[in-house]
Chains A and B, each alone.
Chain A
Amino acid sequence: MKKEHDQGKYKYGMVIDLDKCTGCGTCMVACAAENNVSVRPDESDKQRSISWMQVYKADNGKEFPEAETVYFPRPCMHCEQDGRGGHAPSCVSVCVATATTLDKNTGIVSQIYTRCIGCRYCQAACPYKARYFNWWDAYFPVDKGLERYLSPEVSPRMRGVIEKCSFCHHRLMRARTKAYADGRRKIKENEYITACAEACPAQAITFGDLNNPKHKVAQLIKSKNAFRILERLNTKPKVYYLSSRDWVRKIADNPVDEFSPISG
């Protein structure tokens, strides 16, 4: 455990303010557009459609007119551990073909599509349902013209492999290249942010280096309102949430015992 802080220089993470999040779905669209995720004719088949960033909806369980809704945008959590002290997330330690790894220097969990054999064990192991399998070939019918907006920075996936949020890893590469070209060794706080964080019209998503106390994310996670989803599983996700509403924090985990509110 004491080694945890020495492992890597950077630990990129995200803080999502659920009080600000309006559930508009821009993060999902931004993510799909940035990462060449195709749209299928029937996207209502949620169990088989792909959305690296998925907005979940939850309510407080009360009756009209006390009902309230909250939205949980859920990217890949980029967990640090598997929940039993193993220093790789559940999905990484189970992968048969070493197609997914935790980069100890950035904290990003990668996915090599051309390495993945599609056994879906990682999918079964991930409690956040952050991993998606390509049940079909990407939907870019010939002559439809949609392939023209594909970005060359992210390789399109083939059928039969798993894909997931990469914290827009190519943007980190882009930022590094730029810093290198400018003769800098370090990238600045806002030089590398994910597409979802950039797109959020309500500025609910903050992205940065959790190891750097100057970064906003590192300050935000100290808030008493900060929490992570399924914290009890001890997977140490790098995606944090903020909410001032007790019931929201309460439904983020499975509490066996009474939940103790923090705000009076």
Chain B
Amino acid sequence: MGVTRRNFVKFAIGGVAGLHLTPLPYKLMDDIAIWTQNWPWVPVPPEGEFLSVKSVCGLCPGGCGIQVRKVDERAVKIEGRTDYPVNPGGICPSGMGGLQLLYDRDLRHTGPMKRVGPRGSGDFMEITWDEAIKTVAERIASLRKNAKTEALVSVDGNSKGSTLSLMIERLTKAAGSPNYVRMPSLEDTYEMGNLLMMGNNGPMAYDLENSDYVLSFGSGLLEGWGGPGRIMNAWAVLREKASKGGATVVQIESRASNTASKSDKWIAARPGTDAALALGIAHVIIRDNLYDQQFVSNYTSGFEKFKTMVLGQYSPEKIVDITGVGKEAIKAMADGFARAKAPVAIYGKGKGTLNGSLFEFMSVQALNALKGNINKPGGIIISDPLPLATLPAISPDGVAERGILTPRFDQAGTNKYPFAVSLINNLIDVINHSDKSPVDTLLVFSANPAFTLPDSGEVNRALKKIPFIVSFSPFRDETSFMADLVLPDHSYLEKTDDIVRPNGLQYQLYGLTRPVVKPVYNTRSAGDTIINIAKAVDTKTASSFPWKDYESVLKIRAKGLFDSGGGLVRYKGAEPAWKWKTASDGPDYKSFGDMWKKIKTDGLWYRKLMPSAIDSGIFKTASNRFEFFISQLELAVKDYPTAAPGGNRLKELGITVEGDAAFMPHYEGNHHHDEQLPLTMAPYEMVNLASGWAPSPPFAYKTIFDDQLLGSDSFAIINPGTASEFRIKQGDYIIIQSKACAVKARASLSHGAMPGVVYMPLGFGHTAYDEFIREKGVNPNLLIPPGKDPLSGHPVWWTTPVKIMKG
């Protein structure tokens, strides 16, 4: 049969029909289905063995327990730990996204770098570790050779008492410089206030979990205050109690923050008037005889003077005028606070990391003293520092001895700032007001002053003047972009480091991070780098650092915990660590070796809450009592010479009131009033946006609302009434101008804002990092002029006079 036209057609039709009886078309369909599901650009995470590694979060001083889920060598998820006392299971959004901060190549310095572009550009060239260390060491060595060691300055953002901060201070001193400068923090305010009123500078904490009445003076408990993991859990505990009618939280804040919204009572006091309000409450408590008379008569001094002042000058009528809070509300707070079993008045605005006003804090602390709730359940807890071993003293040579004795550039501890330990803003001032920067080499550790300090413009000007800056930051932050040399630290997931008593914790806890993954990039633990640098400077400097590596330093210090006796290294979670105990617990380890091994795997050593009794001499003031009338301050005013002949000592300290009130907690009044700048700018912090040194993980930007950040614009919150005065509508661009600077933002109208106040979130406006973080919004620090808090000399963050206009 030949191939005729007819046959061909038949064959074709038959073929097509027959084909459909075979599985071929269906198989092909399926293959196409599978093929359409494999795109080469969709990442396929490799499978592997699942592991879980316990550690501690090191992103903030809150020190939450974390466990990291791993697939082979890759860390894939961070979760909260239930076997860690701080945070039963939960962690904060930043901690949750920590892996992005570990792996994102554009967020991190991937190795030691030398700057090649202009300062601020972020153009670096990778060099070897040997070269990097040699460069720093030579720089320090040359300062030592020329006896100019004071020109070496370290800026340290690590929490106080951590081993790393000791090492940094040690390196600075051993090289011969007194200029070890810490970033300003709330700890400074606490420390100064407590030293003045109680003579005690041990860590202070609020026993929130056991409290039944929390009077919060602007503390953003839900904005990331203290250790967010712990505080949020404490919040749940308080809520649980509240549902049974047992706990009240009163939030005093001018903005309807999360804390204000979620608390039982929101009291909107004008920004900057907290001291007046606290003293107004004190007035009612004293007037109505609601204070703890036994405590006041047995353990305090200067009460009569305080009483006279408070009754004379802080009548509710006056307070209503100052704060805008109603008389009934003041009375209700006084009653609530004084009649509660375990009340506590807490201080520290926003996240509780930026310093506050010293007199404000002391006014709040006075309330606690009136109620006598010091080292009592639910009150404030003053305890001894962790019993860590001290490191052997350094052995400075002649050069260093000379250098250490030169005056600090920041004038901290001088007659002008007698109680301050370090004042970085003064350092910035000094640099900007000299022709040539007195600072030759600046070492920056775990800090980002170019972004986080007020008046950022001035800070950057100062940084530009410094001849040589070395950054140890693992992150590509603004300050490291100003650096000439970067010696990147590991991230907290790659190194062993201690977290010495997480922020604000009432019981003693030592946390230890561990390398969860092998270093992802060519970085080195800053502790090791410090030792390496010291060894490379010269033998004399090296002799102060006789250790093999940083971990051995940690181990030496931890030995102190063992020597103190007791303590636990395992936490079961059955009984919360904040439950008050009468008897000491532990130990649950055999030897120091055993203890250290267990700490290294589980990351903790702790003691359950058992503070020293009130009568065990915790007040170490001249009177051995809690001082309402601060003798040490009186001494500093009356006995110290004035800076300028014939000057007013009080004025020099920044105190404006006269008479006895100057030596007691008092309200300084509003001196910022300026016709040209009729509004107040109050920065605010958010738990889901990092505003400190470590950046927010990109994940956190999912949680930011689009009336907080939209595209590259951040929003300033304004009351609709105020906005209508300026004809500003939701989403309009506005210019906010202060003495320091003018910035552009968009307006977000909210009834949660106090009329006349402009609220701007801290943490936006980065100019470094990568596309997730860079150029998003504006940094309110630019607006904040370098004010000085009376007496402490620290920056004033929380009220800035501004004006706004449509932009």
Contact = CB atoms under 8 A, between A and B. Distances in A.
Q: Do A and B touch each other in the complex, judged by CB within 8 A?
A: yes
A151 B77 contact: yes
A140 B39 contact: no
B268 A144 contact: no
A81 interface: no
Nearest to B64: A201
Given A25-B93, A44-B711, A145-B103, A156 B43 contact: yes
Given A39-B699, A157-B42, A200 B90 contact: yes
A39 B43 contact: no
B239 A19 contact: yes
Contact of A156 (B44, B88, B266): B44
Contacts of B69: 151
A10 B76 CA distance: 29
A199 B43 contact: no
A62 B751 contact: yes
A198 B103 contact: no
Contacts of B258: 22-24, 69, 71
Contacts of A67: 256, 261, 750-752
B71 interface: yes
Q: How large is the interface on A (under 10, 10 to 19, 20 to 34, 35 or more residues)?
A: 35 or more
A157 B42 CA distance: 7
Interface in A89-148: 114, 137-138, 140, 143-148
Given A158-B42, A199-B79, A151 B222 contact: no
Interface stretch (B226-234, B420-428, B569-577): B226-234
B75 A42 contact: no
B752 A59 contact: yes
B37 interface: yes
Contacts of A63: 751
Nearest to A137: B41
Contacts of B105: 143-145
A206 B205 CA distance: 30
A201 B268 contact: no
A138 B41 CA distance: 9
A59 B122 CA distance: 42
A146 B104 CA distance: 5
A66 B698 CA distance: 34
Contacts of A30: 79, 96
Contact of B90 (A17, A158, A203, A244): A203
A22 B243 CA distance: 16
B228 A24 contact: yes
Contact of A149 (B47, B99, B776): B99
Contacts of A145: 103-105, 520
Contacts of B228: 24, 201
A149 B236 contact: no
Contacts of B243: 19, 244
Nearest to B69: A151
A201 B43 contact: no
B132 interface: no
Interface in A18-70: 19-20, 22-26, 28-30, 32-34, 36, 39, 41-46, 49, 51, 55, 57, 59, 62-70
Interface in A142-173: 143-152, 156-159
Nearest to A151: B76
Given A137-B41, A138-B42, A198 B106 contact: no
B43 A140 contact: yes
Contacts of B90: 26, 199-203
Contact of A44 (B42, B78, B256, B709): B709
Contact of A152 (B71, B87, B88, B97): B71
B563 interface: no
Interface residues of B, number: 78
Contacts of B229: 201
A143 B755 CA distance: 49
B719 interface: yes
Interface string B344-368: 0000000000000000000000000
Nearest to B89: A198
A204 B236 contact: yes
Contacts of B41: 137
Nearest to A25: B703
B699 A33 contact: yes
A65 B266 contact: yes
Interface string B68-96: 01010011111110000001111111001
B710 interface: yes
Interface string A196-237: 001111111000000000000000000000000000000000
B726 interface: no
A137 B42 contact: yes
Contacts of B719: 64
A69 B688 contact: no
B751 A152 contact: no
Given A65-B268, A204-B236, A39 B702 contact: yes
A55 B703 CA distance: 7
A215 to B, nearest CB: 17
B771 A151 contact: no
Contacts of B710: 44
Contact of A138 (B43, B96, B222, B750): B43
A198 B80 contact: yes
Interface string A75-86: 000000000000
Nearest to A63: B751
Given A149-B99, A201-B91, A201-B228, A156 B42 contact: yes
Given A29-B93, A33-B97, A24 B48 contact: no
Contacts of A156: 42-45
A181 to B, nearest CB: 13
Contacts of B266: 65, 68
Nearest to A201: B90
B232 A24 contact: yes
Given A29-B699, A147-B45, A158-B37, 14 more contacts: A19-B262, A28-B702, A39-B772, A66-B751, A67-B751, A69-B752, A143-B105, A148-B74, A148-B103, A150-B43, A151-B69, A198-B79, A202-B239, A203-B236
6 smallest A-B Cβ distances: which pairs?
A25-B703, A201-B90, A201-B232, A150-B45, A65-B268, A114-B37
Interface of A: 17, 19-20, 22-26, 28-30, 32-34, 36, 39, 41-46, 49, 51, 55, 57, 59, 62-71, 114, 137-138, 140, 143-152, 156-159, 195, 198-204, 244
Interface of B: 37, 39, 41-48, 69, 71, 74-80, 87-93, 96-97, 99-100, 102-106, 222, 224, 228-229, 232-233, 235-236, 239, 243, 256, 258, 261-262, 266, 268, 520, 687-688, 697-706, 709-711, 719, 721, 750-755, 771-772, 776
16 contacts: A22-B222, A29-B702, A32-B702, A39-B702, A44-B776, A59-B750, A64-B268, A64-B721, A64-B752, A67-B261, A114-B37, A148-B103, A152-B46, A158-B39, A195-B79, A199-B90
